[in-house]
Amino acid sequence: MVKSKTCVFISGQGSNLKNLIYRSRDKSFPIKISLVISNNKNANGITYAKKFKIPYLFINTKLKNYENKIIQCLKKNKISLICLAGYMKILSDRIVKIYNKKIINIHPSLLPKFKGLNTFEKVLKNKERKTGCTVHYVNSKLDDGNIIIKKAFYISSKDNISTLKQKTQKLEYKAYPEAIIKIFRRY
Ligand code: GAR
């Protein structure tokens, strides 16, 4: 099986990156993580890139030409899929256009509910019965684009921000690989 060369964009912890690296070592998994891009020099996720000898790039988004650097690097590494995994920056229209329908994102809510930041606070404040995560295609709007997969769980009265985060992330580790398998079934 020829695996699609994939770049994972991160900003922080990188637990989804780590999970995708492990899953992609499976022969039948359709992607290979060939590149990691971080907009945060100190992102813990970079340690996984180092550990698994995956090329990585730190991008300073304050620099004028940072987009060109990203595009050059994606092209150089022949990337055909981009997975955003806790990347806390909006991708420019230019990159979204070049990689049209080739960029996916994971978000810790049942989209279209609770786009943006502070998801768990919003979920609790709104007294939701259920929450979960969504994997979706990326377009130029925040946490928008066609949905590939959603996974949900019921919220208990004992839940707080930290337990919701834990439960949601546990679901994310199933949802992201499943979403990737699902999109490759379509090709
Ligand atoms: C994940 O829970 C992901 O859903 C969220 O950031 C976390 C990153 O965790 N993404 C967003 O909120 C994007 N809107 P990780 O770095 O441990 O994978």
- Rounded CA gap, 168 and 162, in Å? 10
Q: Give the atom of ligand 1 at the shortest distance from the alpha carbon of 85.
A: 18
Q: Give the atom of ligand 1 at the shortest distance from the alpha carbon of 119.
A: 12
Query: CB–CB of 26/51 below 8 Å?
Result: no
* 187 has pLDDT over 60: no
136: annotated active-site residue = no
To test ligand 1's pocket by mutation, which of 172, 174, 176 has the most ligand atoms within 8 angstroms of CB?
Answer: 172
pLDDT digits (tens, 9 = 90+) for 150-159: 999 999 999 9
Please state the rounded mean pLDDT for residues 22-28: 97
pLDDT digits (tens, 9 = 90+) for 54-95: 999 999 999 999 999 999 999 999 999 999 999 999 999 999
- Active-site hit among 18, 107, 151, 167: 107
Query: CB–CB of 120/161 below 8 Å?
Result: yes
CB atoms within 10 A of CB 162: 9
pLDDT digits (tens, 9 = 90+) for 33-54: 999 999 999 999 999 999 999 9
Query: CB–CB of 83/176 below 8 Å?
Result: yes
What's the confidence (pLDDT) of residue 140? Answer: 85
- Rounded CA gap, 173 and 93, in Å? 28
Q: Give the atom of ligand 1 at the shortest distance from the alpha carbon of 117.
A: 12
- The tokens describing 31, both together, are 């992607």
- Rounded CA gap, 139 and 123, in Å? 24
Centre of ligand 1 to C-alpha 93, Å, is 21
- Could you give the strand order of the β-sheet that contains 31-38, starting from the edge strand earlier in sequence? 56-58, 31-38, 4-10, 81-84, 103-107, 130-137, 147-154
* 186 has pLDDT over 70: no
